[in-house]
Amino acid sequence: MQAAERRLKILFLCTGNSCRSQMAEGWARRLKDGLVEPYSAGVRASNLDQRAVAVMKEAGVDISAQRSKSVQEVMHIEFDYVVTLCGDAQETCPVFPGRAEIIHRGFDDPPRLAAAAGSEEEALEHYRRVRDEIRAFVESLPGSLDASDTKEGDG
């Protein structure tokens, strides 16, 4: 990276900033250091999902020090991209100051899927699958932002 280059500021946004956006921020810090300055927030703040923390730790990424934030806490930052990760965030995404481009890339909601699981291991499998899907998306950054996937639904 040349001294004149700056990292892209990317906000990963979901409903409660408890799971998917936290995973995306963690992956971006781990995989895109030097290219991306990642942030995460929710339409409203919640609590950090401990199953998300556990499955990220399994993959070698510690997100336990991250905290859930409301989008209002980051509105002062001039983002290059805001990536909505669920339908709720896409529908309620606020207008950001500056030049932020809004991109939607929906992922399934692990807590919702886990609610119907028959065991803790089955619940964690939902988290692991979404974790790995988010990792693949983050690995494709920043190139995939220009040809974003506009997958519909909360999924």
CATH number (domain holding residue 33): 3.40.50.2300
The number of domains in the chain is 1
In a domain, 151, yes or no: no
Q: Please, which residues have CB within 8 angstroms of residue 33's CB and are 6 or more apart in sequence?
A: none
In a domain, 149, yes or no: no
Q: Please, which residues have CB within 8 angstroms of residue 97's CB and are 6 or more apart in sequence?
A: 75, 78
Q: Show the domain range for 130.
A: 8-144
Q: Would the pLDDT of 81 be above 60? A: yes
Average pLDDT, the chain: 89
Task: Please compute the mean of the pLDDT values over residues 76-90 and round it to a whole number.
Answer: 90
Given strand 36-42, what is the order of strands in its sheet?
Answer: 36-42, 8-14, 81-84, 101-104
Active-site annotation holds for 86: yes
Q: How confident is the model at residue 155 (pLDDT cuts 50, 70, 90)?
A: very low
From 45, 54, 75, 93, the catalytic residue: 93
Q: Please, which residues have CB within 8 angstroms of residue 61's CB and are 6 or more apart in sequence?
A: 26, 27, 29, 30
Active-site annotation holds for 93: yes
